[in-house]
Structure 1
Amino acid sequence: MKPERKSNTDKPRRSAYAAALALLAGREHSRLQLTRKLAQREYPEDEIAAALEALVNDGYLSDERAAVAKVAAGLRRGHGPGRIRNDLREAGLSAGKQITADDGVEIDWVEHARALAERKFGSEAPADYTEWSKRARFLQARGYDSDTIRKALPRA
């Protein structure tokens, strides 16, 4: 006969502070993201607010660090400025006037798009307009605007 398994409900519940800290151990989160995740786990609103305030005071939670991490992750994935701004907005973070890298240097989006297209399609120029359009759609889906795409892709 197998022994009965204990359910997860038998365990004492972690505090909202401990749950948020565990989430922050994995990656940076914005205040809004943590609020949503803790509410999803059915913590009371007042406990969530107190936990987030304590995390900010302890230096564990920073929307600025979360924004920098989000931009860096978007750049690593080859996302353009439009896509990164959208991701920041969804996380409840301000995109600011210009998206910049960690060191505050402005990003050359044309060069970034050119390198991404070269990595995907190779260094040869597109043979015809159809091939050029295919590359342009790829970059557009990544969040690059049409002006940047025209500058980044060589004409067929």
Structure 2
Amino acid sequence: MTVVLEDLVSVRRTAMDLLARREHGRVELARKLRQRGACPEMIDTALDRLTEEGLLSESRYLESYIAYRAGSGYGPLRIREELNQRGLPRGDVEQALRECGFNWQERLEETWRRKYSGQLPHDVKERARQGRFLAHRGYSLEMIGRLLSGREFDD
């Protein structure tokens, strides 16, 4: 069932309903409004007004998204790529990742402990398997190598 958004009030109301559920980026919100039948001019007008009123904020969206994905065990490389695919400016994404305050090495260790119960790999095949999992999650090879070689635990 597709609802066609024919006037500015309905476009704004729909945008606010979407924002009430969770933060959205401007590109993502515009896409959802287009899918619901709103014309581009009304979308731009409504989103500009929501931004002016502080109801739509890219920085809040970035902060929320990074916290959610990091809490799910994903690393900075994966989060960066996902945000870039969502149409957010690369500079804003980089700044948000720098300012998020997460210790990515600790997040890596937590993700690894949750998945592998803190068991260091006993052979090359197991090390490769664990490394692939952590790389897919978005952690750098340097961080993974340090963790899997046991150097992380020397502190």
- TM normalised by structure 1 equals 0.83
CA–CA separation in structure 2 for the residues paired with 1:59 and 1:113: 34
Residues 122-141 of structure 1: matches in 2 within 5 Å?
Answer: 122-141=117-136
Aligned to 2:19: 24
Q: Within 2, Cα distance between the matches of 1:8 and 1:77?
A: 32
Unaligned runs of 5+ in 1: 1-6
How many pairs are equivalent? 144
Equivalent positions of 1:33-112 (< 5 A) are: 33-93=28-88, 94-97=92-95, 99-100=97-98, 102=100, 105=101, 107-112=102-107
Superposition deviation, residue 109 in structure 1: 1.9
23 and 96 in structure 1: CA distance in 2 versus 1, 3 angstrom threshold: same
Higher helix share: 2
Q: Is the 8 A contact 2:131 2:144 kept in 1?
A: yes
**Greater CA radius of gyration, 1 or 2?**
1
Distance 2:43 2:30 in 1: 7
Match in the other structure for 1:142: 137
2:36 is matched by which residue type in structure 1?
R
Do the aligned residues in 1 keep the contact of 2:63 with 2:96 (CA within 8 Å)? no
Cα distance change on mapping 1:64 and 1:90 into 2, 3 Å: same
Query: Once the two structures are aligned, what percentage of the paired residues are identical?
Result: 33
Q: Could you say what secondary structure the match of 1:99 adopts? A: helix
Q: Distance in 1 between matches of 2:144 and 2:48?
A: 43
Which consecutive residues of structure 2, in runs of 5 or more, have no partner in the other structure? 151-155
Deviating 4+ runs (over 4 angstroms)? none
Q: For residue 100 of structure 1, report the CA deviation from its aligned partner.
A: 3.9
- The aligned amino acid for 2:123 is D
Q: Is the 8 A contact 1:28 1:65 kept in 2?
A: yes
- In the alignment, the residues of structure 1 paired with residue 75 and residue 123 of structure 2 have an alpha-carbon distance, to the nearest angstrom, of 25
Measured in 2, the distance between the counterparts of 1:154 and 1:143 equals 18
Contact persistence 1:16–1:47 (CA under 8 A): yes
Give the TM-score normalised by structure 2.
0.83
Q: Comparing 20-29 with 111-120, which one deviates more in the overlay?
A: 111-120
Cα offset, 1:110, TM superposition: 2.1
